[in-house]
Amino acid sequence: MTDNKRIQSFKPIVNDQTKVLILGTMPSIKSLEHQEYYGNKQNVFWKLLFAIFDQPYQESYTEKMILIRERGIGLWDVLQSCERKSSLDSDIIKEQANDIQGLINEYPTIKTIAFSSQKARQYFTKYIGVIEGVSLLTLPSPSGANARMTFKEKAEHWQELKTKL
């Protein structure tokens, strides 16, 4: 298809204190434009994190990075690159996975991988499978496309992240 563009994921945000790695599938068009993880305003990812940690929501990307780093949370995507004509995961083709096993080897403090959607978990299962000593947690998608759940319902599920830190 000629209308698909090959896109790349961002570099991982991790450090030696990262305990939980949240994996998405691939940055949205808006996220790529802003060069920020979960940069689409319709995605409630950041609002969920501020809410579960009882913090007032901050618009600043710097403040968002401080929040996750202070809590031992890292971010990355299952896919390193793919072709996609929209931000929908269902449009992803010709995908290539990130070296998540290599990242876990480099940062052995990571003991839990939390997926920010079912689709991220499916790609992980397809390309990586199991990582010894790392538990897996699948959370409801914070995407605006996931309208089946209210913010409150999503937040109830996302609370489980705190038990992994």
Looking at the annotation, which residues are catalytic? 43
Task: Report the distance separating Cα 81 and Cα 48, nearest Å.
Answer: 26
Task: Report the distance separating Cα 45 and Cα 144, nearest Å.
Answer: 10
Tokens of 12: 């991982």
Three-state DSSP at 10 gives: coil
Task: Report the distance separating Cα 136 and Cα 32, nearest Å.
Answer: 26
Question: Whose CA is closest to 157, among 143, 136, 138?
Answer: 138
The three-point CA angle 122-10-3 to 5° equals: 75
C-alpha 140: how far from its chain's center? 11
Three-state DSSP at 137 gives: strand
Q: How many helices (H) and strands (E) in the chain?
A: 6, 7
